[in-house]
Amino acid sequence: MKRVLLTGAAGGIATWLRKLLPPVYPELVLTDIREPKDLQAGERFIQADISKADEIERVCDGVEGIIHLGGRSGEAPWETILEANIVGCYNLFEAARKAGVKRVVFATSNHAVGFYPRTTTIGTEVLARPDSRYGVSKLFGEGLGAMYAYKHGIGVTALRIGNVGDRPLDVRRLSIWIKPEDLVQLIRIGLERPGLVYEVMYGISDNQRSWYDNSRAETLGYKPQWRSEDYAADVISAEPSEGKHPAAEYYQGGTFCAEEYTADFPSMKMKS
Ligand code: 15L
């Protein structure tokens, strides 16, 4: 795979990937609604608004694989989610189909299943339990991916990414952290593994406190190299002790679950 398109190139995850991917995909093309502030000479950037079908179609021309990070990466009003993550994601898959793109790796999120208690371990076949409009939009993208895989023959991988960074930021992230280098490994499986049709994997490193059964990813060749536990003592001692919303503490999705929460938490807890 030579020409690979990275959407959401001005965002946080792309900041890591822009450093790690060029040796693997020398013809990497970047796109976003705005140019990355730190764009380097030698990086190829094409500006496009994903909510405009013709703009994203133009960018997909000649592309073999897409890593789709573009869109809103957190909770937002419905109109924003609708445009960036629903319309935008549809436009992306349509543009991929029209351009004959072979593979798409879609960045979905742990928030597609955020309303599972932290006491449970979930695989990729559990019922959806999105914790936000954002999480719902990620499930929409997973569904689109499956449809374009089975109906149009694009090999699609949906990565339910936890939290990407150099190190886990807090106690919750000890369970969902992924080091950028491990994310690259998952992306490469999605873009390169022969015979791939449609796969869902959790985007996490080798975390002892993980809430996910990521055995499907391992079967496909994923061997995470980084462990959040190495940071656990520091992270735990730095965790603020003041009370958080009980729903944020109880569910895997954390504050995304607590935002706009109006249910009666004690009774919901009894039922989940
Ligand atoms: C996500 O899906 C977000 O894109 C990211 O900003 C973090 O909030 C992450 O989840 C998380 O759950 O930590």
Ligand 1 neighbourhood includes 110 CB (under 6 angstroms): yes
In short, whether 91's Cβ falls inside 6 Å of ligand 1 is: no
Q: Which helix (H) or strand (E) holds 173?
A: helix 171-176
Q: What is residue 67's three-state secondary structure? A: strand
pLDDT in tens, 34-45: 999 999 999 999
The answer to whether the CB of 255 is under 6 A from ligand 1 is: no
Q: What percent of the chain has pLDDT over 90?
A: 97
Q: What is the pLDDT of residues 74-109, one digit of tens each?
A: 999 999 999 999 999 999 999 999 999 999 999 999
Three-state SS for 75?
coil
Residue 109 Cα: closest atom of ligand 1: 2
Name beta bridge partners: 108. 160
Confidence of residue 242 (pLDDT cuts 50, 70, 90): confident
Distance, CA 216 to ligand 1 centroid (Å)?
22
Q: Which residue has the CA at smallest separation from atom 13 of ligand 1?
A: 163
CA 230 to ligand 1 center in whole angstroms: 21
In angstroms, rounded to a whole number, what is the distance separating the alpha carbons of residues 117 and 172?
A: 12
Report d(CA 23, CA 42) in Å as an integer.
Answer: 13
Token couple for 25: 């995909």
Q: Is residue 73 within 6 Å of ligand 1 at its C-beta?
A: yes
Q: Is 6 helix (H, G, I), strand (E, B) or coil?
A: strand
Average pLDDT for 226-243: 93
Residues serving a catalytic function are: 134
Q: Give bridge partners of residue 109 from the DSSP assignment.
A: 161
Q: Once rounded to an integer, what is the mean pLDDT over residues 212-223?
A: 98
Q: Which atom of ligand 1 is nearest to the CA of 138?
A: 2
Residue whose CA is closest, atom 2 of ligand 1?
109
3-class DSSP state of 21: coil
User: Ligand 1 mean position to 195 CA, how many Å?
Assistant: 30
Ligand 1 atom closest to residue 111's alpha carbon, by position in its atom list: 2
In the 8-state DSSP scheme, what is residue 140? H
CA 184 / ligand 1 centre spacing (Å): 17
Q: Tokens 């873009």 identify what position?
A: 191
Give me the mean pLDDT over the 258-272 stretch: 95
Query: pLDDT grade, residue 50 (50/70/90)?
Result: very high
Per-residue DSSP letter, 10: T
Q: Ligand 1 centroid vs 54 CA: distance in angstroms?
A: 29
Residue 243 has pLDDT above 80, yes or no: no
